[in-house]
Amino acid sequence: MFNFICRRVIHAIPVILIIATVTFFLIRLAPGDPLSDEKAVPPEIRVNLEAHYGFDNPLWLQYLHYMGNLFQGDLGPSFKYIGWTVNELIGQSFLVSLELGLLALIIAVLLGTISGTIAAVNKNSSLDYLPMSIAMAGICMPTFVMGPLLVLFFGLYLGWFNPLGWEQWSDRVLPAFTLGIYYAAYIARLTRSGMLEILSSDYIRTARAKGLPEWRVVLVHGIKTGLLPVVAFLGPASAGLISGSFVVETIFQVPGLGRFFVMAAFNRDYTMVLGTVLFYATLIILLNLIVDIIQVIINPRLKYE
């Protein structure tokens, strides 16, 4: 177990370094730079600014400088949010994104596993077809369709929630549902097929044969193995929740990391873009590792590779 984690972490380091390098040079290829704004800066001030941020040095020196700071965990200052460091900006906005992502994940897992299990237990009845049809609709409705529709209906027509913002508790409901519903649908389908396979296996027949009540068979014996595909899906799902958050945060004006990233990319805020990309990459690699570990814990048949 320990060896496995160590090896994965060691594998991840060169990956992150390559991402840092590629992103660093890619963003420099972009036309424009963070210092060119709508308001033209006088040339003398511009020279001073360039000197301040080290833009007058050759690119390779800037690269080495950045990587040196990176090894100390310093992502540099933001060019657009004067006085803020990228670390501070990411730290603050990520908490918002994390809250949104976790709420969406909870909705997705709860809705998905429950409806998927119900569908599998009542195979080929209306309790199977109805949730599965809704799930198919959920998969075909992308976040940027679902979001505006939810706002239109619950926000403007019924007036239950604020159409946008991130102030009170109730402001969390619509964004979290918008983000979570696709994954709920996907998890429902995975749960259903996983449970169907398990419920026809030998050990379930044994459990039924020794006279256990049906709910025990399903909820204690079946669900443990039946949910394995769902657990495996959680890695890609959390990566998807991250990219989904770009859209949802834009629709609902949520001050999260996704919105900061898109704005930083528009503004050519070099350090902010780099910092966010690296942060996302590390996060996804970490999440995949955690999911792999969980998978082995609940299913010892899998070995650490």
The footprint of another protein (CB under 8 A) covers: 11, 15, 19, 23, 26-27, 29-31, 136-137, 139-142, 144-145, 147-149, 151-152, 156, 189-190, 192-193, 196-197, 239, 242-243, 246-247, 250-251, 261-262, 265-266, 273, 276-277, 280-281, 284-285, 288
**Rounded CA separation 238/290 (Å):** 11
**Rounded CA separation 105/111 (Å):** 10
Buried b (16+ CB within 10 A) or exposed e, 137-176: ebbebebeebbeebbeebbeeeeebbbeebeeeebbbbbb
Residue placing its CB nearer to another protein in the complex, 171 or 269 = 269
CB of 210 to another protein, least distance (A): 27
Residue placing its CB nearer to another protein in the complex, 81 or 212 = 81
Tokens of 220: 């204690």
Residue placing its CB nearer to another protein in the complex, 31 or 42 = 31
Residue placing its CB nearer to another protein in the complex, 26 or 47 = 26
CB of 211 to another protein, least distance (A): 29
CB of 239 to another protein, least distance (A): 6
Q: Could you tell me the end-to-end alpha-carbon distance of the chain, in angstroms, rounded to an integer?
A: 10
Residue placing its CB nearer to another protein in the complex, 53 or 279 = 279
CB of 72 to another protein, least distance (A): 23
Instruction: Please choose, from the candidates 101, 182, 170, the residue with its C-alpha nearest in 3D space to the C-alpha of residue 141.
Output: 182
CB of 243 to another protein, least distance (A): 3
**Rounded CA separation 199/213 (Å):** 14
**Rounded CA separation 89/47 (Å):** 26
Tokens of 55: 């833009």
CB of 31 to another protein, least distance (A): 8
Residue placing its CB nearer to another protein in the complex, 212 or 281 = 281
**Rounded CA separation 276/258 (Å):** 9
**Rounded CA separation 271/85 (Å):** 9
